[in-house]
């Protein structure tokens, strides 16, 4: 069962921002579609870059995969598209840890126009830690879980994002 942040943490960790702001980039010209705005596929690419930064921060990034033969696989992802981004727009992607357990992470990215500060998009994900030699789920190392607990202690004070847990449907 995933542990909600507020179930096991109460005091924000002083060294960890809530949310984390670990990734910035600009909308590349080749990311623009025939509607004149950033194509939906590139939102996922930018969010993937933010996931890489988040995983580096908690200790399960590319270097970890190479050294320890462990990685993560995305189990589920959901994107909302709130406002357009145009060519060369600066993006800031903030990350909030929603929950975690020994094998899974539930987190959310928030993409903002970095100068105008409007929310452009969100990305909610659940990832599974995998032993790459066995290609099976496995618990994360204790140092990674310790870092996740530190992030959880800081992010536990944040409100649950209204976009978290959305179901896609046409409401009638």
The domains of the chain, with CATH numbers, are 3-10+21-139 (3.10.129.10)
User: Could you report the per-residue pLDDT of 95-139, keeping only the tens digit for each?
Assistant: 999 999 999 999 999 999 999 999 999 999 999 999 999 999 999
pTM: 0.89
Q: Where is 144: in which H helix or E strand? A: helix 142-155
At residue 14 the predicted structure's pLDDT band, cuts being 50, 70 and 90, is low
């Amino acid at each position: 069962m995933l542990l909600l942040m507020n179930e096991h943490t109460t005091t924000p960790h002083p060294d960890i921002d809530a949310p984390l702001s670990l990734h910035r980039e600009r909308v590349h010209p080749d990311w623009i579609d025939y509607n004149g705005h950033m194509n939906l596929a590139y939102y996922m690419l930018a969010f993937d870059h933010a996931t890489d930064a988040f995983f580096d921060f908690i200790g399960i990034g590319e270097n970890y995969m190479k050294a320890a033969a462990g990685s993560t696989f995305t189990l589920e992802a959901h994107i909302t598209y709130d406002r357009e981004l145009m060519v060369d727009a600066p993006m800031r992607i903030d990350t909030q840890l929603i929950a975690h357990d020994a094998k899974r992470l539930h987190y959310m990215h928030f993409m903002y126009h970095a100068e105008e500060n409007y929310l452009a998009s969100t990305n909610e994900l659940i990832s599974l830690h995998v032993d790459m030699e066995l290609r099976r789920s496995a618990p994360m190392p204790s140092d990674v879980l310790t870092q996740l607990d530190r992030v959880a202690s800081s992010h536990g004070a944040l409100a649950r994002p209204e976009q978290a847990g959305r179901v896609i449907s046409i409401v009638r």
